[in-house]
């Protein structure tokens, strides 16, 4: 009895992607090798569907590049490399969680302190950039979106940062270190300016922590799928086993595994 074959649309529906994306996955090595029929159609098997679902789950937990590398290693039979890459994905999440904790503590400290003493009453943009360890272009971007409001020096028009401006720049820098979106930093700073409360700052960090939790859970789910995928015997598709033909919407006949050759 021949092995069950699947069409690209079957894989696409299972993963919630387009049939073109399935072809892209096959070309990128995310799917195991496929054979082709004598007429050039790819022969997909249930293991190819499993590969798609495993990859999609890995993307949610580890990101696209890591997921691609893991699946490529799995399809090459490089189990040790799969484990190395999976360990790295877990380590990245662990580092992110630790950084969030450190950032939360730093934000509390910065918010509760008086504005830092400066060597003079105000600093120029280059001085602030060096103090924070960022580029001057970053400070200009933060100003352009309304997060910073430095004054201007009379006569020269140079930006001048007060102690309060420097403290806010520190908090923006800390939030950006955990990739908190720029559009969402404004309300956080506004709340701090109005009330002096750190609640909004800590809520911002908590939001990022929730995201790490979601990624960690997704990686756990993906690990289960990956284990099942690696445990398969990985049979190869048979080019000689032509897929059945079925009638398309126009009344013509087409191979059941694909609409057009690729």
Query: pLDDT confidence of 152, banded at 50, 70, 90?
Result: very high
> How far apart, in whole angstroms, are the C-alpha atoms of residue 86 and residue 106?
30
| Percentage of residues of the chain with pLDDT beyond 90 | 53
Say if residue 168 is in the same domain as residue 138.
Answer: yes
pLDDT on residue 59? 97
**Looking at residue 116, what is its pLDDT?**
55
Q: What is the C-alpha separation between 246 and 166, in angstroms, rounded?
A: 69
22 and 84 co-located in one domain: yes
Alpha-carbon distance of 3 to 90, in angstroms, equals 37
132 shares a domain with 24? no
Residues spanned by the domain of 67: 8-92+214-255
- Predicted local distance difference test score (pLDDT) of residue 193: 79
CB 42 within 8 A of CB 257: yes
Q: Which residues contact 249 (CB under 8 A, 6 or more apart)?
A: none
Tokens of 187: 């309300």
What is d(CA 212, CA 216) in angstroms, rounded to the nearest whole number?
Answer: 6
- Looking at the domain assignment, is residue 261 inside a domain? no
The pLDDT confidence band at residue 250, using thresholds 50, 70 and 90, is very low
Predicted confidence band of residue 81 (pLDDT cuts 50, 70, 90): very high
Residues 6+ positions from 136 with CB-CB distance below 8 Å: 125, 126, 129
pTM: 0.67
* Structure tokens, 174: 């800390």
The burial class, CB within 10 Å (0-12 / 13-18 / 19+), for 46 is middle
- Cα 36-39-45 angle, rounded to 5 deg: 30
**Residue 234: predicted pLDDT:** 57
pLDDT of residue 229 exceeding 90, the answer is yes
Question: Same domain for 98 and 208?
Answer: yes
Q: What average pLDDT does the segment 119-130 reach?
A: 85
Same domain, residue pair 131 and 173? yes
Residue 219: both structure tokens together: 């990686």
pLDDT at 249 over 70: no
- Assess if residue 262 is contained within a domain: no
Find tokens 């897929």 and name the residue: 243
More confident call, 140 vs 122:
140
Helix (H) or strand (E) holding 24: helix 19-28
* 3 found inside a domain: no
């Amino acid at each position: 009895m021949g092995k069950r074959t699947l069409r690209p649309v079957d894989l696409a529906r299972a993963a919630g992607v387009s049939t073109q994306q399935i072809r892209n996955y096959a070309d990128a090595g995310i799917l195991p090798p496929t054979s082709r029929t004598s007429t050039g159609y790819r022969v997909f098997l249930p293991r190819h569907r499993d590969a798609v679902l495993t990859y999609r789950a890995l993307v949610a937990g580890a990101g696209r590049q890591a997921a691609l590398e893991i699946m490529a290693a799995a399809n090459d039979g490089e189990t040790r490399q799969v484990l190395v890459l999976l360990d790295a994905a877990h380590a990245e999440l662990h580092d992110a969680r630790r950084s969030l904790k450190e950032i939360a503590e730093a934000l509390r400290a910065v918010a509760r302190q008086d504005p830092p003493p400066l060597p003079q009453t105000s600093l120029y943009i280059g001085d602030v950039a060096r103090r924070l360890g960022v580029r001057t272009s970053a400070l200009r971007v933060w100003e352009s979106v309304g997060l910073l409001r430095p004054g201007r020096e009379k006569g020269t028009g140079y930006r001048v940062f007060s102690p309060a401006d420097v403290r806010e720049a520190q908090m923006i820098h800390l939030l950006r270190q955990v990739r908190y979106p720029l559009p969402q930093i404004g309300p956080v700073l506004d709340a701090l300016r109005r009330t002096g409360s750190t609640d909004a700052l800590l809520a911002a960090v908590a939001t990022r922590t929730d995201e790490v939790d979601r990624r960690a859970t997704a990686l756990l789910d993906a690990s289960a799928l990956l284990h099942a995928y690696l445990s398969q015997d990985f049979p190869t598709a048979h080019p000689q086993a032509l897929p059945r033909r079925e009638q398309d919407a126009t009344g013509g006949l087409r191979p059941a595994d694909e609409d057009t050759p690729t």
